[in-house]
């Protein structure tokens, strides 16, 4: 985990008028207009193995890479593998990782068009994904409006559970819930939000719920109110966090985003860490007009997104006020 974004190094070059979404607002994917009603949506993501099972890791990496396209309401079309692998580790392991990725792409209806592997001491895998979107209907992280409700579509805790597993604090069975959520596509959630129409969306990944909430609130010029007790969390996660079993990224996120987040006094310390847990392939955080929220919840349920919850609301931004305010309940 590191807070240097490779997309933020050079913001000075001439903007292209067809670059509909670039990197100014820390959005999920780039959008490049081809014609009035057609644009490319592009993203890339890869990381070191988060679980021991190479096939599951491949599935998770693919679901995670596709997620940025889903978060913008786009339709992923093609993907390319990016892999780093030590020669000594056995090519059958690499083959299993790639199979996991391939099968997840199949499930998503996305075509694998190629890829590239280099030798490296530490294995890494991910994909670059290209999709299509109507440039007039891009769902960015900057469209949240006061009066919106905030809906999260997956429970939190993948960082805490995978860390706990590394330190033998949970069983393979406890980890299974995290694995099943990490490899679950955000496709159904994206389809539901595109169908009903929403104001903003981002997916929850390394910066945690509160980090990505900060980015979206700042980009939208509003304040997000998050009600901690309503945020869905995977089983064991609260207990593990109160025992202090946390990934380094949870603490880094907490430090980095502290100046934008205000916690009410009665929000427990362990809960603050959970809300900053770095997620892998987390859910979508959707900002939806209050009058549309129930229709969105119905559409999510209909499409099998079972753990979606209303976790808060959007209020006007205040100069010098926090971007995210966290209430206990
Ligand atoms: Co994202
Ligand atoms: Co983001
Ligand atoms: Co990403």
DSSP labels, 269-285 = HHHHHHHT---SS--EE
Q: What is residue 87's predicted lDDT score, i.e. its pLDDT?
A: 84
Tell me the ligand closest to 26's alpha carbon.
2
Q: What is the per-residue pLDDT across 57-77, written as a single tens digit (0 to 9) for each? A: 999 999 999 999 999 999 999
* pLDDT tops 70 at residue 37: yes
pLDDT band at 12 (very low <50, low <70, confident <90, very high): low
Q: Match domain 19-137 to its CATH number in 3.30.470.10, 3.60.21.10, 1.20.1090.10, 3.30.1330.10.
A: 3.30.1330.10
Q: How far is the CA of 45 from the centre of ligand 3 (A)?
A: 5
Q: How far is the CA of 164 from the centre of ligand 2 (A)?
A: 25
Q: What is the per-residue pLDDT across 159-199, written as a single tens digit (0 to 9) for each? A: 999 999 999 999 999 999 999 999 999 999 999 999 999 99
Written as six digits, the tokens of 262 are: 């205000």
Q: How far is the CA of 205 from the centre of ligand 1 (A)?
A: 6
Q: How far is the CA of 282 from the centre of ligand 3 (A)?
A: 11
Tell me the ligand closest to 27's alpha carbon.
2
Q: How far is the CA of 159 from the centre of ligand 1 (A)?
A: 16
Closest by alpha carbon to 209, among 174, 160, 168? 160
Q: How far is the CA of 71 from the centre of ligand 3 (A)?
A: 10
For residues 145-158, give the mean pLDDT.
98
> Are the beta carbons of 74 and 28 closer than 8 angstroms?
no
Task: Map residue 120 onto helix, strand or coil.
Answer: coil
pLDDT band at 251 (very low <50, low <70, confident <90, very high): very high
For residues 109-125, give the mean pLDDT.
95
Q: How far is the CA of 201 from the centre of ligand 2 (A)?
A: 9
Q: How far is the CA of 90 from the centre of ligand 1 (A)?
A: 31
Q: Cα 94 to chain center, whole Å?
A: 25
Q: What is the per-residue pLDDT across 279-290, written as a single tens digit (0 to 9) for each? A: 999 999 999 999
Q: How far is the CA of 265 from the centre of ligand 3 (A)?
A: 32
Listed in sequence order, the residues at least 6 apart from 7 whose beta carbon sits closer than 8 Å to its beta carbon are: 23
Q: What is residue 192's predicted lDDT score, i.e. its pLDDT?
A: 98
Q: Where in the chain is the domain with CATH 3.30.1330.10?
A: 19-137
Q: How far is the CA of 30 from the centre of ligand 2 (A)?
A: 12
Q: What is the per-residue pLDDT across 77-101, written as a single tens digit (0 to 9) for each? A: 999 999 999 988 888 999 999 999 9
Q: What is residue 141's predicted lDDT score, i.e. its pLDDT?
A: 94
* pLDDT tops 80 at residue 14: no
Listed in sequence order, the residues at least 6 apart from 69 whose beta carbon sits closer than 8 Å to its beta carbon are: 28, 29, 41, 43, 75, 76, 129, 131
To the nearest whole number, what is the mean pLDDT of the chain? 94
* pLDDT tops 90 at residue 319: no
Tally Cβ neighbours within 10 Å of residue 160: 30
Summary count for the chain: helices (H), strands (E): 10, 13
* pLDDT tops 90 at residue 26: no
pLDDT band at 138 (very low <50, low <70, confident <90, very high): very high
Which CATH class, in words, describes the domain spanning 148-327? alpha beta
DSSP 268: -
Q: How far is the CA of 65 from the centre of ligand 1 (A)?
A: 8
Tally Cβ neighbours within 10 Å of residue 37: 11
* pLDDT tops 80 at residue 13: no
Q: How far is the CA of 24 from the centre of ligand 2 (A)?
A: 12
Q: What is residue 27's predicted lDDT score, i.e. its pLDDT?
A: 78
Q: How far is the CA of 308 from the centre of ligand 2 (A)?
A: 19
* pLDDT tops 50 at residue 1: no
Listed in sequence order, the residues at least 6 apart from 84 whose beta carbon sits closer than 8 Å to its beta carbon are: 46, 117, 118, 119, 120, 122, 123, 124, 125
Q: Where in the chain is the domain with CATH 3.90.650.10?
A: 148-327
């Amino acid at each position: 985990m590191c807070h240097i974004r490779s997309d933020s190094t050079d913001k000075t070059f001439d903007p292209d008028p067809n670059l509909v979404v670039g990197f100014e607002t820390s959005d999920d994917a780039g959008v490049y207009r081809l014609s009035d009603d057609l644009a490319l949506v592009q993203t890339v993501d890869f990381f070191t193995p988060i679980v021991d099972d190479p096939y599951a890791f491949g599935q998770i990496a693919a679901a995670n890479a596709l997620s940025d396209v889903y978060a913008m309401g786009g339709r992923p079309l093609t993907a390319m593998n990016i892999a780093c692998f030590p020669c000594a580790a056995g090519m059958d392991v690499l083959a299993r990782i790639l199979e996991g990725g391939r099968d997840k792409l199949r499930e998503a209806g996305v075509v694998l068009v190629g890829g590239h592997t280099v030798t490296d001491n530490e294995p890494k895998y991910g994909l670059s994904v290209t999709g299509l979107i109507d440039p007039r209907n891009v769902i960015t992280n900057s469209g949240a409006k006061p009066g919106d409700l905030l809906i999260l579509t997956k429970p939190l805790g993948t960082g805490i559970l995978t860390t706990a597993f590394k330190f033998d604090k949970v069983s393979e069975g406890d980890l299974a819930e995290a694995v099943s959520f990490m490899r679950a596509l955000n496709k159904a959630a994206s389809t539901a939000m595109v169908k009903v129409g929403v104001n903003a969306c981002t997916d929850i990944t390394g910066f945690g719920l509160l980090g990505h909430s900060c980015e979206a609130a700042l980009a939208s010029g509003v304040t997000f109110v998050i009600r901690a007790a309503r945020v869905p969390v995977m089983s064991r996660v609260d207990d593990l966090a109160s025992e202090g079993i946390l990934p380094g990224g949870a603490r880094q996120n907490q430090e980095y985003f502290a100046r934008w987040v205000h916690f009410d006094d009665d929000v427990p310390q362990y809960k603050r860490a959970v809300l900053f847990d770095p997620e892998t392939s987390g859910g979508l955080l959707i900002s939806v007009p209050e009058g549309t929220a129930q229709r969105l919840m119905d559409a999510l349920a209909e499409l099998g997104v079972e753990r979606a919850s209303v976790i808060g609301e959007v209020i006007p931004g205040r100069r010098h006020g926090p971007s995210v305010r966290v209430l206990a309940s």
